[in-house]
């Protein structure tokens, strides 16, 4: 059984892992001044098989993020259909549990040309409405594990204080990421369990090159903002839409609220994930905030029918530029329309 002192040390180690990663656990020990930091990192690996997800500065990579809400006329459009349709440019596709005809999509692209596909689907009667908003800001909120029960593997309470966002320094002025930088970020997002040696094998590139680009570019230049730490597989994700900064401050007291979009219409989208035992407490907490703002909540179970997460579309980056093809998307949209029409007859 862990004593309180060990629990505090673990939460502090996780504090630093989310900011600096685990490329060299000795650095965590030096920064935190926790003598047994390396042993604690190893304990987390052995007990939880934790994974680190790097949050990319997609703007520096030459991408824009769009938050799209699609209202379908058909129930049998799968999220895999949409991932294929948008040619792997989506990082989130989430179907609402309470209204399966509503699907929220986060797309990384260089322009709004993908709207042509949505217009076509609307003209064909596949969808009856959609909203597109550019993500003007994306804030990363490292998880505070001070209220986490490491024995039971779940959060026990809300935080008594509001959290502040964090991001590593942006040192990219005058620097342009190359193909390998983008592939390292994308592959690490795709397979958060991969070590640098594993990345080297997966990319077919020498370990020396992967190590250099990770240290000097991905981390050294600040191509990433920080890391989300996954100690366990969540059962659900919540998307919370609202407008007031006061509500955002309150939502940061939910320990698994880990990043927020600020959209071009000045509204916010908060992302929360956790295990099923925390769903009702979180929904009650959010419901109480409706006194302060108009709040909309989408519930997404983490199963293949309701949720798909993906990496940045690194496969489309070649020779220092992004290569997207809306004609390919349109051909896939036409195939989807045909399939849905055949299934409905």
Closest C-alpha to 161, from 64, 286, 251, 291: 251
C-beta of residue 69 within 8 angstroms of C-beta of residue 19 = no
Q: How far apart are CA 96 and CA 239, in angstroms?
A: 9
Residue 30 has pLDDT above 90, yes or no: no
pLDDT tier at 35, thresholds 50, 70, 90: confident
pTM of the model as a whole:
0.94
221-273 confidence digits (pLDDT tens): 999 999 999 899 999 999 999 999 999 999 999 999 999 999 999 999 999 99
CB 68 within 8 A of CB 131: yes
Structure confidence by residue, pLDDT tens digits, 63-106: 999 999 999 999 999 999 999 999 999 999 999 999 999 999 99
The kind and range of the H/E element at 46 are helix 37-48
pLDDT exceeds 70 at position 311: yes
**In the CATH hierarchy, which fold is given to the domain comprising 64-141+232-332?**
Alpha-Beta Plaits (3.30.70)
* 183 or 24: which leads in pLDDT: 183
| Residues 201, 210: Cα–Cα separation, whole Å | 10
What SS3 state is found at 326? helix
Structure tokens at 218: 């991905």
Is residue 108 pLDDT above 60, yes or no? yes
Q: Across residues 49-60, what is the average pLDDT? A: 93
CB 300 within 8 A of CB 236: yes
* Closest residue by Cα to residue 302 from 278, 328, 276, 284: 276
Residue 187 has pLDDT above 70, yes or no: yes
For tokens 């990192």, name the residue.
41
Give me the residue spans of the domains in the chain: 1-49, 64-141+232-332
Using CA atoms, how far residue 167 sits from 89, 151, 224, 248, in Å, is 24, 30, 8, 18
Considering only CA atoms, which of 55, 114, 83, 54 is closest in space to residue 322? 114
Predicted local distance difference test score (pLDDT) of residue 3: 54
Find out whether 295 and 243 touch, Cβ atoms under 8 Å: no
Distance, in Å, from the CA atom of 142 to the CA atom of 340, rounded to the nearest integer, reads: 42
Angle at 57 between CA 56 and CA 61, to 5 degrees: 100
Q: Tell me which residue has tokens 């997800």.
A: 53
pLDDT, position 157: 93
């Amino acid at each position: 059984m862990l004593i309180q002192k060990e629990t505090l040390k673990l939460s502090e180690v996780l504090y630093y892992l989310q900011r600096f990663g685990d490329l060299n656990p000795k650095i965590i020990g030096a920064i935190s001044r926790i003598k047994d930091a390396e042993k604690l990192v190893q304990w987390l690996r052995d007990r939880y098989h934790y994974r680190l997800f790097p949050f990319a500065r997609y703007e520096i990579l030459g991408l824009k993020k769009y938050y799209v809400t699609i209202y379908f006329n058909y129930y049998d459009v799968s999220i895999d259909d949409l991932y294929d349709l948008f040619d792997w440019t989506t990082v989130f596709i989430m179907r609402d549990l309470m209204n399966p005809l509503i699907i929220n999509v986060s797309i990384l692209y260089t322009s709004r040309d993908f709207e042509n596909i949505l217009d076509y689907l609307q003209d064909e009667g596949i969808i009856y409405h959609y909203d597109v908003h550019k993500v003007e800001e994306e804030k990363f909120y490292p998880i505070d594990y001070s209220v986490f029960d490491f024995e039971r593997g779940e959060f026990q309470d809300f935080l008594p204080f509001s959290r502040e966002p964090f991001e590593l320094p942006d040192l990219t002025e005058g620097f342009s990421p190359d193909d390998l930088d983008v592939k390292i970020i994308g592959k690490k997002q795709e397979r958060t369990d991969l070590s640098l040696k594993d990345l080297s094998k997966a990319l077919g590139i020498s370990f020396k090159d992967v190590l250099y680009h990770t240290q000097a570019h991905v981390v050294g230049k600040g191509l990433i903002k920080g890391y989300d730490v996954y100690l366990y597989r969540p059962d659900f994700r919540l998307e919370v839409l609202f407008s007031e900064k006061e509500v955002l401050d309150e939502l940061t007291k939910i320990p698994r609220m880990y990043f927020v979009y600020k959209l071009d219409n000045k509204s916010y989208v908060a992302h929360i994930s956790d295990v099923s035992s925390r769903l009702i407490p979180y929904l009650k907490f959010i419901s109480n905030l409706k006194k302060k703002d108009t709040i909309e909540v989408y519930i997404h179970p983490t199963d293949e029918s309701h949720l798909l997460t993906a990496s940045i579309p690194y496969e489309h980056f070649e020779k220092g530029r992004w290569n997207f093809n809306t004609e390919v998307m349109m051909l896939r949209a036409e195939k989807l329309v045909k399939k849905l029409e055949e299934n409905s007859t």
